[in-house]
Structure 1
Amino acid sequence: MVGAKTFVLACALAVLLCVSNVDAAFKCYDCIGTSSSDSCSDEFTKSSSLESSSANCEACTKTKLSGVVTRGCSPVAIGNDCTTSGDDASCTCNSELCNGSNNMAVSMATLLGATLVVFFSNI
């Protein structure tokens, strides 16, 4: 039988998984850069001036082709994934402003799911 504390924790985590942002516009960083000194380069410094939001945005993207880094928004939610070929890469992620890091962000659902697995495996 599952204890009361375990049940409450599981319910709280389930609620967190279902919470969504009340703002209808999904935010991603939106820029194009070519060199390490550029504000959109691979070594990225997050800035609110580079934030963009759109009602038809479902995922954020980061692409690096021939040294040119592009960050933006995709109308299609593809999931959290990266593909690479040599120095070129294309990544998508499905949480707001997740395209601002060198390693694309892991979704909140993935983190909470992993926490539940670890927690329940120790009971």
Structure 2
Amino acid sequence: MKNFLTFTGIILLSLIGCSSSLECYECDGESCVSESLDQVKCQEGAVYCLKLQLDEEFTKSCAYDAPQNDEEGCKEFGTTKTCYCKGDFCNSSNHVSALFSTLLLLLLLHILH
């Protein structure tokens, strides 16, 4: 029982950071191609991260306007593709969230004990 309470406490502490401001990747054009994208803390009011593709040019940022129907996902209009997502750094296709990694590690440690 004591191990369960310790495990639950660690999980709850890891979730405290979830209530802070949204964080997104930010880049424009050529800077989106590099492996080291800028990480920014969005201003109050941003609920989504944005990934925009116009032809072969990319833009990533915080989104201060909600998507149509307030839904996550991508929409294409001609040569423009606009993607909205919720969650820290979700506007990168190859990013694993730190929270997910932490929870996975805690679960693995719990199973091994």
Letter in 1 for 2:48: A
What TM-score, normalized by structure 2, do the two folds share?
A: 0.57
RMSD after superposition: 4.0
Instruction: Evaluate the alpha carbon distance shift between residue 45 and residue 15 of structure 1 in structure 2; reply closer, same or farther with a 3 A threshold.
Output: closer
Equivalent pairs counted in the alignment come to: 105
More helix, by proportion = 2
The offset of 1:69, in angstroms, is: 0.6
Match in the other structure for 1:32:
28
Gaps of 5+ in 2: none
What's the counterpart of residue 85 of structure 2? 92
Larger RCO: 1 or 2 (CA < 8 Å, sep 6+): 2
Which residue of the partner structure matches residue 47 of structure 2? 58
* Aligned residue number for residue 11 of structure 1: 9
What corresponds to 1:67 in structure 2? 56
2:44 counterpart letter in structure 1: A
For 2:35 and 2:91, locate their aligned partners in 1 and report how far apart those are by CA, in whole Å: 7
- Give the match's secondary structure for 2:96: coil
8 Å CA contact retained: 1:27, 1:52: yes
1:24-62 CA distance string (max 9 Å, x none) = x544343421xxxx22x33343347xx463111123222
- What amino acid sits opposite 1:57 in the alignment? A
Normalization by structure 1: what TM-score? Answer: 0.54
Distance 1:68 1:7 in 2: 49
Q: Distance in 1 between matches of 2:91 and 2:35?
A: 7
Distance 1:120 1:30 in 2: 36
